[in-house]
Structure 1
């Protein structure tokens, strides 16, 4: 990955729903993880079919690790009162690859522009409260190959760095694969070399984004 500026961002591990009521109007927010514009558009259409009898189905989504693609729609509400405020909640939460649809059932009372902005904003926040969110970290997939004599020391230092192997292959030699945050890479490389007298093979296979298990959120 050439652009390393995005060290981390948040994603929906499980989408959720939330509801906000303002002067008898119901605002139902549905959030879902979407990895592409096509997925997001399909999700919006799905919600429109599900809530076909609603007055409005406004949406917003943000795609890409740097938020390269953003879209929002007021779906008939006054311009700037629905889609944009919804998108700003996603951006403020540092979410990426996320889409939200807020369905409005009109309660018979006009809310005004300020009331609409507040209602659509709050609906998305309620949906987020009921979603499971995780943080994606920029880092590297690393392969460590070692003789059996060194494995105890390697596992000990991995524990100290709060790193856990993704896989362990115990053959003629032991091969460990693990996800390493970018800021820990060189420190880990030095520690492995020192603890094995340079006998272990340390290879950075590729750059990745991975879920930080230490920062899982409900």
Structure 2
């Protein structure tokens, strides 16, 4: 994927595996923030009140910079980490996976737990629909009216989405632009000294 793209889920999905009597219910969700992840975990605890463990992991942010993993009473690193690794291997972000375990009476050992939690997570993620999205920013272009055609031709050429047009002392246009196009916009307009390009959250 390009640096201004990320992949996430567009649907929820479930899985079920059985290992030596234990049942592992896997759930995958698209999420926007940590609070949403907590809500889904609590909902599953309410749905499965008799389950022994409700383990989970999530990854958030365009670059996947926020990660969390929770073993919920399983041996350290045997549940949350393999769930997280399944999300990382699928190159997903803004994604939560919860695996609910009903204990079947037979201990699986750490290697067995790692494999079961990983398999349950991978199966749930495989069932979910996915989408590659672009990372966008807001760009405002201010210009004198004689440059209107130049600006609009660029908008059409790059197929840019216009959020708002401003007509004051000067004309202005606010665009939603994927990050990889910002430099191209600046370069295309750099010879027009009366045209001002401003990028959201960019220092001048």
TM range (shorter): 0.7 to 0.9
- How far apart, in 1, do the equivalents of 2:4 and 2:184 lie? 20
Matches within 5 A, 1:136-155: 136-137=134-135, 140-147=137-144, 150-155=147-152
Structure 1 pair 21/13, CA: closer, same or farther in 2 (3 Å)?
closer
Matches within 5 A, 1:96-107: 96-106=93-103
Structure 2: unaligned runs, 5 residues or longer? none
Per-residue CA deviation, residues 81-104 of structure 1 (Å, 9 max, x unaligned), is: 211100112233444443321112
Matches within 5 A, 1:186-205: 186-194=183-191, 197-205=192-200
Structure 1: unaligned runs, 5 residues or longer? 1-6, 208-218
In the alignment, which residue of structure 2 is the partner of 1:213? none
Matches within 5 A, 1:67-216: 67-106=64-103, 111-129=108-126, 130-137=128-135, 140-147=137-144, 150-161=147-158, 163-169=159-165, 171=167, 174-194=171-191, 197-207=192-202
- How far apart, in 1, do the equivalents of 2:180 and 2:5 lie? 16
Q: Which of 7, 12, 32 pairs up with 1:16?
A: 12
Structure 1 pair 186/95, CA: closer, same or farther in 2 (3 Å)?
same
Superposed displacement of residue 12, structure 1: 3.7
Q: What is the Cα-based RMSD across aligned positions, in Å?
A: 3.3
Determine if contact 1:142/1:206 at 8 Å carries over to the other structure.
no
Secondary structure of residue in 1 paired with 2:201: strand
- How far apart, in 2, do the equivalents of 1:47 and 1:9 lie? 31
In the alignment, which residue of structure 2 is the partner of 1:3? none
Q: TM-score, normalised by structure 1?
A: 0.69
